[in-house]
Amino acid sequence: MFDFSILLASVLNGLTSGAVYALVALGLTLIYGVLHIINFAHGAALMVAMYGVYELYNKLGIDPYIALPFMVVGMFLFGYALQRVIINRASHGKDENILLVTLGLAIVLENLALLFFKSDTRTIDTAYSLTTIAIGPAFIALPKLIAFAGALAASAILVLLVSGTDLGRAIRAVSKEKQGAKLMGIHVEHIYAMSFGIGLACLGAAACFLLPTYYVNPQVGSGFVLIAFTIVVLGGMGSFAGALIGGLLIGVVESLGGLYLGESLGPIGVFIIFIVVLLFRPQGLFGARA
Amino acid sequence: MKSLLGIAALAIGVGLLPLFVESGVWINFVMMTLYAALLAQAWNILGGFGGQFSFGHALFFGFGAYVQAIAQLQWGFNPWVALAMAGLVSATVGLGVGALTFRYGLKGSYFALVTLAFAEVFRIIAVSVPFTGAGVGLMIPLKESVGNLQFESRVGFLYVILGLLIAAMLVTWWLQNSKFGAYLQAVRDNENAAQAIGVNPFLIKLGAIALSAAFMGWAGAFYLQVFQYIDPSIAFGPHTSVEALVAAIVGGLGSLWGPLLGALALHLLSDLTRNLFGSLPGINMVIYGSMLIVIVMFLPRGIAGIGQSVTRLWRGKRD
Amino acid sequence: MIDNILSVSGISISFGGLKAVNNVSLDVPQGSLTALIGPNGAGKTTLFALMSGFLKPNQGTVTYCGQDITGQAPHINAVAGMTRTFQIVQPFAAQTVLENIAVGAHLHYPNRHTALSFARDIALQVGLDSQITKPAADLTVAGRKRLELARALAAKPKLLLLDEVLAGLNPQEISEMIPVIRNVTQQGVTVLMIEHVMQAVMNLAEHIWVLAQGELIAQGNPSDITQNLKVIEAYLGTGAAARLNEPRRNNPSSTSVVTNTSSTLSNSASTLQANPLLEVSGLRGGYGRTEVLRGIDLIVNKGETVALLGSNGAGKTTFNQMICGLVPTQAGRVKFDDIDITGAHYTNIVPHGLIQVPEGRKIFPNLTVLENLELGSFSRARARRSENIEYVFETFPRLRERTKQLAGTMSGGEQQMLAIGRGLMAEPILLILDEPSLGLSPRLVEEMFGLIRKLRETGLSILLVEQNVAQSLDTADRVYVMENGALKFSGLPSDLMGSDELRRAYLGL
């Protein structure tokens, strides 16, 4: 039905968005895998990060890619503090409570943004925002390619961290065997907070990759939340490989969905996948049976 | 006994209110508070008594509102008949969602996510399909008469919402004093132990979600009648889902008066904020979100829980 | 008239590669009070789950009142008259005692008032009538056990499966519960109980089945069972039977109850200097409202191997967890290497060299063997990690072959080796081994104890917590016996073997 170049462009665009989705989902996977909580505030935190990148560019003229290290560190500290000070204390150890607290955080963050930034949609215009690169018959925006490469690089760094360092081993140990970890002298609450912080740090990076081609408004987070959840569930709760592949897959599904079903109906493909996976294969493509 | 008297007192108290209060602003405040209490009461049936937290309860609200609108606009039904249909359709949707999710043993966070996804799916459908007026939504024409479920002053609507809320509270009372309610709470507290003494968790949860959905549907239909307008984001969007669950939790899960207390607290707080800070966009939701965190942190049994603790201390001192 | 109300025939179930229940057949006569006993991990609760419908067997059938009910849902079985209680109590915490019992009552009384009234009668029957308005969460352990029982009784069962309804109760509470249970049978209800409290079992049961490692190894009346060699070996370990039947020495110290640890020490023929490494005095505490430990005095000297024995549920693991900071201490003192570590945070225990290899191994299943070992030196001896890994591989050559294997896929024996290796990575000064022989085949058990003896020869101080008595007594310098949270014996292994304390603690004689 569609011209090959349009199809190719759609798939390629889907892959580039998918890579960024994957990075967002990786953070969520880490948080779910270790703390076993569904972080409803993930989307709102991404939105906060995006506003951060926006303000850094607008007020201080710092290019998003230069801002990357600051955003990563900043979001890490934000996440660590959130977990240690609010989420940990509010939950009293009960799962339903954590659900509610992260939901509350999401609501508060989203509406504080509304308060301070109003509901206007904002974008930034960098020097290279409009540059395109030709791949075969299709044209892809340069920032999207950078986003693709950057997101994959960040994911690789995250995976290396988790698999190759003592901290990473401790995080993985805590996720499956808390008591055993304590007997090694591993401070479990600290590990929880570290994981949450790293999860949010991923968002800091993702925000830097998103802003040159995307927009920010207070509601942008909720759009990402369900997509991120779908990826995490599709990939298999707690599987990094799953989140990566799932992210790319969902990115393409969303892109093609928009192409074939139109602007408004497009996103439905993602949610249908979500419901179907949750109902019929809750362990996802790569996860182990719970 | 005591609770039933309390419900009767509420009915009489609010019923007599218009005789003493002239101000339309106050009547409106009470009406909107009762409306929020209905949302919370509906959520409470599944969330508080059933222990299943739905984050997309607007799904049932939206169905109720759209059925109410479409029944009148497309099929020429009388609004009161449409009201009955709205509840029925919502309950059926509830049964459908329940059958799918509970059959596959979805619980906790997974259940919350799925309900959210369902709400989003239908929001997208409603935006895209002309049957529901697409993004523009649907509007019912103005025609004030009792037979048409529209009233010149808010007082008429006040009585309608009062009726719906009293019905919901009576159902809640029944949950606290019946075999079904005892079984539902047992499933909430410990599904395995409940099974060991003869409770069928699947059927019980289905019953709860149907009841909960029906009342949400009626709330949606009510909303349409009052504001004469519905669109996809009001119908299926997060605002209604959040309002229902926050009010229920703040007020106290699984209690009879919790939803009303929670709705009252939240509305008073928003009014106060509006008076102090003016009508800032989003300030309402910031309050709701903060209240949610604060209550979960410090008062996990909500406002009603304070009352329970006080009564226990009181009884303890007397023994 | 049905003779056997419940029969299981050739029933088996496996989880992963492990056969939890293997070809078990038994018949429960109607109206009887019978018991199912066996050491930790024997598969007793799994068997209950199979009987009541919480699990579906891979093979075999369950017949109830003449009908095949294999795999039928638990609530349907409950309606037919089979209810059960749970090993770990499952109250409806948010509700009152009366409301809890009423849920059971509703099975036969749909009307709320009638159900509540019947619930009141049941509460009276089990002795909870004074607490019916209390929230279930506020009950003591004994109260919760009664509530478990009451709730199941309110459903008017024909067959009642009781899972360790006496566990965690003190002797007084146990003697109060026994008539309650007997009363249930007198009303015509068939009762099958899983129990560890031996004197209760011997007192109440008409017939006993003994399960070990998933298999039925013996059955008969109480006196037959206590003499049965296979049963004794299942509980006390290979070779125990022979030793128990040795002529008993008339040694005054062997029948004494511990009052003063230090006097026992001075009587000991040990050639080791009394050089305390771990000193525990008056330790009390437990989980939440439960007091598990009722005042423990224990010493491990430098270079000693001390065994802490006791049946399942005696409090040994709680003791270990309390010393290591995993469970809060309510009273008492713990000194390690002259440092007061009472109530210290668990991150401050390992750096001092107090290392525990926990019950159930608790290795990290999603990490490789190498990664597990690396984490062993997370808080201590990190600098010498590579040398220590080499040392562990020398001690356990089989681990070297599996460096990159995920720990969760290894066999029980290999996991145990890994767990000990992981403990050694931290260069322990005192190594606590909690049930290292649990679930291992007899050959592996021999290997395990051989290893422990080797470690002992290197000068390592060891606190060995075990159910396997025979081997432990061969390996230890001194031994303590814990029962119901208190120490009932402290002294030399040779004294204990010939004593009555041992038989009593384990077999309720």
d(CA C477, CA C462): 10
Which residue do the tokens 């000064």 mark?
C429
Q: Which residue of A has its CA nearest to B124?
A: A265
Residue C501, strand partner residues: none
Three-class HEC string of C302-328: CCCEEEEECCCCCCHHHHHHHHCCCCC
Examine residue A109 and state whether it is found in any structural domain, yes or no. yes
A interface residues, C as partner, C-beta within 8 Å? 166, 169-170, 172-173, 175-177, 179-187
Examine residue A35 and state whether it is found in any structural domain, yes or no. yes
Instruction: Name the residue facing A115 among B106, B280, B292 (closest C-beta).
Output: B280
d(CA B108, CA C77): 27
Parse chain C into domains and list their residue ranges. Answer: 4-227
Q: Would the CB atoms of B121 and A104 count as touching at under 8 Å?
A: no
Instruction: Name the residue facing B182 among C54, C91, C99 (closest C-beta).
Output: C99
Instruction: Name the residue facing C375 among A170, A176, A187 (closest C-beta).
Output: A170
Instruction: Name the residue facing B189 among C78, C92, C107 (closest C-beta).
Output: C92
Closest CA to A174 of A194, A158, A197: A194
Q: What is the average pLDDT score of chain B?
A: 90
Q: How far is C28 from chain B (nearest CA, A)?
A: 19
Q: Would the CB atoms of C379 and A166 count as touching at under 8 Å?
A: no
Q: Which residue of C has its CA nearest to B174?
A: C112
Q: How far is A128 from chain B (nearest CA, A)?
A: 34
A142: CB partners within 8 A, 6+ apart? A128, A131, A132, A133
Q: Would the CB atoms of C106 and B183 count as touching at under 8 Å?
A: yes
Amino acid at C456: R
**Domain limits at A96?**
4-119+129-280
pLDDT value of residue C376: 94
d(CA C308, CA C302): 16
Asked if the ipTM is above 0.90, the reply is no
Chain center to CA of C147: 22
Residues in B touching C94 (Cβ below 8 Å): 185, 188-189, 254
Interhelix angle A95-117/A220-235, rounded to 10 degrees, is 150
Q: Would the CB atoms of C90 and B199 count as touching at under 8 Å?
A: no
Q: How far is A283 from chain B (nearest CA, A)?
A: 11
Q: How far is B180 from chain C (nearest CA, A)?
A: 9
Chain center to CA of C175: 21
* Bridge pairing between strands C190-194 and C159-163: parallel
A/B interface, count of CB pairs below 8 Å: 125
Model confidence pLDDT, tens digit, residues C298-357 = 999 999 999 998 877 778 889 999 999 999 898 999 999 999 999 899 999 999 999 999
With 0-12 / 13-18 / 19 or more C-beta atoms within 10 angstroms meaning exposed / middle / buried, residue C249 is: exposed
Q: Would the CB atoms of A271 and B100 count as touching at under 8 Å?
A: no
Examine residue A290 and state whether it is found in any structural domain, yes or no. no
d(CA C431, CA C411): 23
Contact in structure between A266 and A275 (CB atoms under 8 Å) = no
Examine residue A34 and state whether it is found in any structural domain, yes or no. yes
d(CA C409, CA A109): 44
Model confidence pLDDT, tens digit, residues B94-120 = 999 999 889 877 777 788 888 988 999
Q: What is the average pLDDT score of chain A?
A: 87
Model confidence pLDDT, tens digit, residues A73-90 = 999 999 999 999 988 887
A280 touches chain B (CB under 8 A): yes
C52 touches chain B (CB under 8 A): yes
pLDDT value of residue B2: 85
Q: How far is B138 from chain A (nearest CA, A)?
A: 18
**Chain A residues 203-222 with a CB less than 8 Å from chain B:** 218, 222
B286 touches chain A (CB under 8 A): yes
**Chain A residues 143-182 with a CB less than 8 Å from chain B:** none
C130 touches chain B (CB under 8 A): no
For chain A, which chains pass the contact test of at least 3 CB pairs under 8 Å? B, C
pLDDT value of residue B212: 97
pLDDT value of residue B121: 92
- The sign of the dihedral angle between the CA atoms of B288, B290, B293, B295 is negative
When mean pLDDT is compared across A63-72, B5-14, B143-152, the lowest value belongs to B143-152
For chain B, which chains pass the contact test of at least 3 CB pairs under 8 Å? A, C
φ and ψ at residue A155, rounded to 5 degrees: -60, -40
Chain center to CA of B26: 21
Exposure string over C405-442, b if 16+ CB within 10 A, otherwise e: eebeebeebbbbbbbbbbbbbbbbbbbbbbbbbbbbee
A229 touches chain B (CB under 8 A): yes
pLDDT value of residue C171: 79
With 0-12 / 13-18 / 19 or more C-beta atoms within 10 angstroms meaning exposed / middle / buried, residue B88 is: middle
Q: Would the CB atoms of C155 and B194 count as touching at under 8 Å?
A: no
**Which residue of C87, C92, C130 is the best one to mutate when testing the B interface, meaning the one whose CB has the most B CBs within 10 A?**
C92
What's the total number of domains in chain A? 1
Residues in B touching C54 (Cβ below 8 Å): 192, 195
B290 touches chain A (CB under 8 A): yes
Contact in structure between C258 and C264 (CB atoms under 8 Å) = yes
Q: Would the CB atoms of A115 and B281 count as touching at under 8 Å?
A: yes
Closest CA to C472 of C272, C305, C323: C305
**Which residue of A37, A94, A111, A277 is the best one to mutate when testing the B interface, meaning the one whose CB has the most B CBs within 10 A?**
A111
Tokens of A153: 């690089």
Q: Enumerate residue ranges in chain C where pLDDT < 50.
A: 1, 248-271, 508-509
Whether B73 shows a pLDDT value over 60: the answer reads yes
* Bridge pairing between strands C478-483 and C486-491: antiparallel
Q: How far is A184 from chain C (nearest CA, A)?
A: 6
Q: What is the CATH number of the domain that holds A40?
A: 1.10.3470
Closest CA to B118 of B70, B69, B68, B63: B63
Confidence of residue B319 (pLDDT cuts 50, 70, 90): very low
Which DSSP state fits B147? G
d(CA C80, CA C159): 9
pLDDT value of residue C8: 93
Tokens of B226: 């009052």
Closest CA to B204 of B175, B177, B226, B231: B175
Contact in structure between C380 and C356 (CB atoms under 8 Å) = no
Q: Would the CB atoms of B195 and C78 count as touching at under 8 Å?
A: yes
Q: Which residue of C has its CA nearest to B51?
A: C94
B290 touches chain C (CB under 8 A): no
A103 touches chain B (CB under 8 A): yes
Q: How many CB atoms lie within 10 A of CB B279?
A: 8
A48 touches chain B (CB under 8 A): no
Q: How many CB atoms lie within 10 A of CB C385?
A: 16
Q: Would the CB atoms of B53 and A101 count as touching at under 8 Å?
A: no
Q: How far is C274 from chain B (nearest CA, A)?
A: 51
Closest CA to C35 of C211, C216, C221, C201: C201
Query: Who has greater pLDDT, B206 or C230?
Result: B206
Q: Would the CB atoms of B199 and C103 count as touching at under 8 Å?
A: yes
Which residue do the tokens 């423990």 mark?
C296
Examine residue A80 and state whether it is found in any structural domain, yes or no. yes
DSSP-based three-state secondary structure for C18: strand
Tokens of B227: 């504001």
User: Tell me: domain C4-227, CATH 3.20.20.140, correct?
Assistant: no
Examine residue A124 and state whether it is found in any structural domain, yes or no. no
Q: What does pTM read for this prediction? A: 0.85
Q: Would the CB atoms of C358 and A172 count as touching at under 8 Å?
A: no
Residues in C touching A169 (Cβ below 8 Å): 367, 371, 374-375
Q: Which residue of C has its CA nearest to A184?
A: C376
DSSP-based three-state secondary structure for C281: strand
Q: Which residue of B has its CA nearest to A120?
A: B281
Residues in C touching A183 (Cβ below 8 Å): 324, 326, 346, 350, 355-356, 358, 362
* Bridge pairing between strands C430-434 and C276-285: unpaired
Q: Would the CB atoms of C94 and B185 count as touching at under 8 Å?
A: yes
Instruction: Name the residue facing A169 among C326, C355, C375 (closest C-beta).
Output: C375
Instruction: Name the residue facing A226 among B117, B134, B249 (closest C-beta).
Output: B117
Which residue do the tokens 């497009």 mark?
A266
Residues in B touching C51 (Cβ below 8 Å): none
pLDDT value of residue C242: 61
DSSP string, A60-121: H---HHHHHHHHHHHHHHHHHHIIIIIIHHHHTT-HHHHHHHHHHHHHHHHHHHHHHH-S--
Q: Would the CB atoms of A176 and C364 count as touching at under 8 Å?
A: yes
B/C interface, count of CB pairs below 8 Å: 82
